[in-house]
Amino acid sequence: DGLKNENNPESLLSVVKAESLLQAEARSSKVLKTPVKLKKRVGNNKTPTKASVSPTPFHFDFEGYLRKKDQREFEMLINQPEKCSGPEGAPYLLIAIKSVAADFDKRQVVRRTWGREGVALNGVSIMIVFLLGVPQNATALPVWDKLLTYESRAFRDILLWNFEDTFFNLTLKETHFLRWVNTTCSKAKFIFKGDVDVYVNIENILEMLGDREADRDLFIGDIIIHAKPIRRRSSKYFVPEFMYGQGMYPSYAGGGGFVMSGHTALRLHMACKEVELFPIDDVFLGMCLLRLGLQPTRHKGFRTFGIVRPSAAPRLQVYDPCFYKHLMVVHGLTVPQIWLMWNLLHDPGVHCHSSQAAAVLPFNTEFCRD
């Protein structure tokens, strides 16, 4: 039935119950037999990770990373070879979301709200994949390994590679996803790639792409320019000078979410092969864009650093659905917030009207009335 709204509270309860059951299973002393046969885990670092990929602490082994930087290809453990070759053919919009194994509840809320597969109201097809590496926690691995196998069978949207899922290995997710697009989904017209904790207004994305040509270069997002490497060792984004000696990063898109054409994705796949791996994935992709001579385009609707309440409107409710109506991407939302925002924006009983206050806000907005 396409991308229609789903206002059934039992759906959200099922997500919460499923997560509780998985947590109980992880605590159980009985180890489940692992459906996916994993080889010894390998990767570019040994940095601990939490349920979501946390920024790597400043004591990260950069020298070890440099020694292993030529190890660029890792085995694919779970693939979806039929994803873009089924009866529907390649998608108009392919959604690719970075996730970690433990984020089952976050993947579920994306699947049931803005990231639904199907046919949009304008007749274009949408498909989704989640990008994962192997968790570092060896104790929990058998449980999450089984979870990902079941998820793959049920939803056919899991892509899993045999490298450790850490913050500084997100660059490996970038390169392996681009390779997967090149080999398995090369006819996708456009790609949205982002984090699992974003809210995406797919209708606005599709409207923006309406007059774009898929066979031309396109790279749009929240573009950061003139950013300098952080040399402060206490910073979670610390990069030593021997790792990157220049004084400024190339322009790059905030990794919370960006849109590119399929044409650009194929070109990036080739360009990234010629660029040395860099542990911050956003910056690495900026290096690949620079290699192509392609300047990314900034769009004010991509809020990859979340929404900041403007000083001119201190009482503004930043979770007001009318605040989101004209945006593309908002980063840093919880599972309940994503679920709530989706339902509010698709509730026929919620109406917005223009306000003169819009003139003082940093982007076009409206305010709600019931």
pLDDT tens track for 350-360: 887 654 334 32
Domain boundaries, the chain: 9-302, 321-369
Confidence at residue 317, expressed as pLDDT on a 0 to 100 scale: 54
Separation CA 194–CA 285 (nearest Å): 13
Q: Is the pLDDT of residue 19 over 80?
A: no
- Cα 290 to Cα 131, 271, 272, 283: the distances in Å are 24, 9, 10, 10
3-state secondary structure of 160: strand
Separation CA 167–CA 235 (nearest Å): 14
Average pLDDT of the segment spanning 243-266 = 94
Confidence at residue 101, expressed as pLDDT on a 0 to 100 scale: 94
Of residues 254 and 161, the one with the higher pLDDT is: 161
Confidence at residue 7, expressed as pLDDT on a 0 to 100 scale: 41
Confidence at residue 44, expressed as pLDDT on a 0 to 100 scale: 43
When the pLDDT of each residue in the chain is averaged and rounded to a whole number, the result is 79
Average pLDDT of the segment spanning 255-264 = 93
Q: Is the pLDDT of residue 361 over 50?
A: no
**CB proximity list for 338: less than 8 A, separation 6 or greater:** 109, 110, 113, 114, 197, 199
pLDDT tens-digit series, residues 63-88: 877 777 778 899 999 999 999 987 77
Confidence at residue 319, expressed as pLDDT on a 0 to 100 scale: 62
Average pLDDT of the segment spanning 251-267 = 94
Q: Is the pLDDT of residue 198 over 70?
A: yes
Of residues 57 and 118, the one with the higher pLDDT is: 118
Separation CA 314–CA 192 (nearest Å): 32
SS3 helix, strand, coil % of the chain, rounded to 5? 30, 20, 50
Confidence at residue 227, expressed as pLDDT on a 0 to 100 scale: 93
Confidence at residue 23, expressed as pLDDT on a 0 to 100 scale: 45
Of residues 17 and 72, the one with the higher pLDDT is: 72
Percent of the chain residues topping a pLDDT of 70: 74
pLDDT tens-digit series, residues 294-318: 999 999 888 766 554 444 445 545 5
CA nearest to 328, candidates 83, 92, 11, 95: 95
Of residues 323 and 21, the one with the higher pLDDT is: 323
Confidence at residue 177, expressed as pLDDT on a 0 to 100 scale: 98
Confidence at residue 50, expressed as pLDDT on a 0 to 100 scale: 38
Percent of the chain residues topping a pLDDT of 90: 53
Confidence at residue 64, expressed as pLDDT on a 0 to 100 scale: 76
pLDDT band at 257 (very low <50, low <70, confident <90, very high): very high
CA nearest to 90, candidates 253, 270, 265: 265
pLDDT tens-digit series, residues 140-197: 777 888 999 999 999 999 999 999 999 889 999 999 999 999 999 999 999 999 999 9
The answer to which of 24-28, 177-181, 249-253 has the lowest mean pLDDT is: 24-28
Whether the CA torsion 236, 241, 244, 250 is positive or negative: it is positive
Confidence at residue 22, expressed as pLDDT on a 0 to 100 scale: 42
Of residues 31 and 160, the one with the higher pLDDT is: 160
Of residues 369 and 22, the one with the higher pLDDT is: 22
Cβ(221)–Cβ(364) under 8 Å? no
pLDDT band at 41 (very low <50, low <70, confident <90, very high): very low
Confidence at residue 196, expressed as pLDDT on a 0 to 100 scale: 95
Which pair of tokens denotes residue 368? 């709600």
| Top-tier CATH class for 9-302 | alpha beta
Length of the chain: 370
Of residues 35 and 330, the one with the higher pLDDT is: 330
